[in-house]
Amino acid sequence: MVVTDALGRRQVITASYIRDAELLREGVNQFSYEMGVQRYYYGTRSNAYGGFLSDFTQRRGVTNRLTVEGRLEFQPGAETIGGGAVYAIHGLGTVAGGVAGSVSTGYAWGHLVYGQINQNRRAFGFGATMQRASEDFRQVGLAPQQRADKMVLQGQVSKALGRRGTFAVGYLRRDGRTNPDARAVTASFNLRLGRAIFTVGGTYSLLHDHQVGLDAALVVPLGERKLAVASADMNGTVKTTSLEASQQLPLGPGWGYRVKTTQLDQEVNDGGLYYQNMLGSYGVEVGDTGGDLSWRLSERGSLVYLHGHTMLAPWLNDSFGVIDAGGIKGVPVYVNNLLLAKTGSKGMALVPWMVPYIENLVRIDDSTLPLDVSLEGGERRIVPMPRSGVFLKYKPVSMGGATLVLMATKDLPVPVGAQVSINGGATRYTVALRGEVFIEEMVYPAAVDARWGKNGTCQIRIEHPPEQALVPKIGPLLCDARKIDW
């Protein structure tokens, strides 16, 4: 980093740091509490659901280098509890480890241990994971007759090849119980071709069958949200090719789609149409696998409770904000110069998709408000934490003015263009349609004097402003009145 002071002197500062998504800053808490029912045979069988299940995860940054976590899983007849930690080591990367235990009907006490080391640098990276489980260990998501793998060992080393390419090799060992054993070596190569990315990978089995798997893919962006993917895969005796085109959902309300076809040894065609608004996202998906037709309807959203306010929102998996505009409806809310919401009937709005750890510019557009009202603190800079909400309250303030509705007679307003003065001041205000005139600064009691043409005059005295009115609109006021006490 190069720092230049006010006198033009430059200083080069070199420092190493560790950035890892699993590390939390000191004092920061992260949690996830989930409940639902288990889904079986997804995409091949309708309405195949199991029993109730839930899981609870709590993580905390003890220091900037150490994060600890605990997890509890529950389903009828089985409970699992575990804990772990992630620690950053200068010059090495991050190391992690943990233990878990389970109690389940028909099984003895089971346990699991795991360890992990990881380093990611721009030019070089490596990672390794080892996990061992006893025969009686149970975890949410396992089928009734399925057993946890005895051991899983994975390792990978990656190397950047200039600015456009990356090469990686890896090793996998799995000692299964109900799952088959596996010993395999993997390799992959990624190359950036302009905006497109070409990827080729391979797998070689070290067991007696010595199977070879090859896959290749070309990913081509077609616009801001559109993508095309062409891929081919060969695994043992099965060979397939696929073409896919998709458009991602926008940040705000809008449409998305996905169309994919797979040919050669497998004939699969599927597609989906998706829509998102500020209350949630909705999808319709249709698939044809060898003549078997399937379809799916999906909907997901969020229910937010913050500072005494309950709101419906789209699916939230990161930071968000709740805006209170003081009861004013229809106020646009911008985050990082993107229009993400408008306040509802109660003056509330929820803005999703805020970026954690960095400064977000939240701006209220009060140009749609009456000329005599503004929102205090219309622009703010917020740094939210991950998967958390911030509450922003904006106070409507009167600009000190009022709108007067002047009537020359009971049925005839003061004409357009009439000039109005207050308390004999030099400032003149022009009457608009329907006899309305906005006075920027009202001082009560107010002596209103309106004049138009050669002989048109109107004098009214207003003793007090209307009570409980943030932005007074006073009138209709008849010119023959001499004193109005609101």
- From the CB of residue 410, how many other CB atoms can be counted at a distance below 10 Å? 8
Q: How far apart are CA 432 and CA 408, in angstroms?
A: 14
Q: How far apart are CA 424 and CA 401, in angstroms?
A: 16
Closest CA to 224 of 191, 242, 257, 249: 249
Do the Cβ atoms of 258 and 227 come closer than 8 Å?
no
Q: Is residue 287 part of a domain?
A: no
Domain identity same for 421 and 312: no
Do the Cβ atoms of 216 and 194 come closer than 8 Å?
no
Mean pLDDT of the region 123-135: 93
Domain identity same for 318 and 201: no
The pLDDT-based confidence of 344 (bands split at 50, 70, 90) is confident
Q: Is the confidence at residue 214, as pLDDT, over 90? A: yes
Q: Is residue 279 part of a domain?
A: no
The residue to which tokens 């389903």 are assigned = 75
Q: Is the confidence at residue 62, as pLDDT, over 90? A: yes
CATH number of the domain where residue 431 is located = 2.60.40.2070
Peptide bond just before 445 cis, omega within 30 deg:
yes
Q: Is residue 348 part of a domain?
A: yes
Domain identity same for 6 and 118: yes
Rounded to a whole number of angstroms, the CA Rg of the chain reads: 33
pLDDT tens-digit map of 144-203: 788 889 999 999 999 999 888 999 999 999 999 998 999 999 999 999 998 999 999 999
Q: Is residue 90 part of a domain?
A: yes
Q: Is residue 406 part of a domain?
A: yes
Domain identity same for 473 and 364: no
Domain identity same for 253 and 374: no
Q: Is residue 295 part of a domain?
A: no
CATH number of the domain where residue 356 is located = 2.60.40.2610
- Side-chain-facing half-sphere of 282: CA atoms under 13 Å: 6
Type of residue numbered 158: S
pLDDT tens-digit map of 250-265: 877 899 999 999 988 8
Residue at which a domain ends, from 398, 418, 444: 398
Q: Is residue 285 part of a domain?
A: no
Domain identity same for 53 and 147: yes
According to the model, what pLDDT value does residue 8 have? 61
Phi, psi of 346 (to 5 degrees): -100, 10
Q: How far apart are CA 414 and CA 435, in angstroms?
A: 5
Our CA dihedral for 387, 390, 391, 392, rounded to 10 degrees, sits at -140
480: left (phi > 0), else alpha (psi -120 to 50), else beta? Answer: alpha
Take residue 163 and report the two structure tokens written for it. 């600015």
Domain identity same for 311 and 412: no
What is the maximum span of the chain, computed from C-alpha positions, in angstroms?
110
> H/E element holding 57?
strand 49-61
Domain identity same for 102 and 74: yes
According to the model, what pLDDT value does residue 186 have? 94
Residue by residue, what is the 3-state secondary structure of 222-289? CCCCEEEEEEEEEECCEEEEEEEEEECCCCCCEEEEEEEEEEECCCEEEEEEEEEECCEEEEEEEEEE
pLDDT tens-digit map of 452-485: 888 888 888 888 777 655 557 888 888 864 444 4
Q: Is residue 83 part of a domain?
A: yes
According to the model, what pLDDT value does residue 154 have? 96
Domain identity same for 209 and 95: yes
Mean pLDDT of the region 47-76: 90
Domain identity same for 135 and 67: yes
Number of structural domains (the chain) is: 3
Q: Of 41 and 306, which is predicted with more confidence?
A: 306
According to the model, what pLDDT value does residue 88 have? 92
Strands 319-324 and 309-313: unpaired
Domain identity same for 115 and 243: yes
Domain identity same for 195 and 221: yes
Query: Which residue range forms the structural domain that includes residue 377?
Result: 302-398
Q: How far apart are CA 258 and CA 256, in angstroms?
A: 7
Take residue 100 and report the two structure tokens written for it. 């878990």
Q: What is the pTM of this model?
A: 0.64
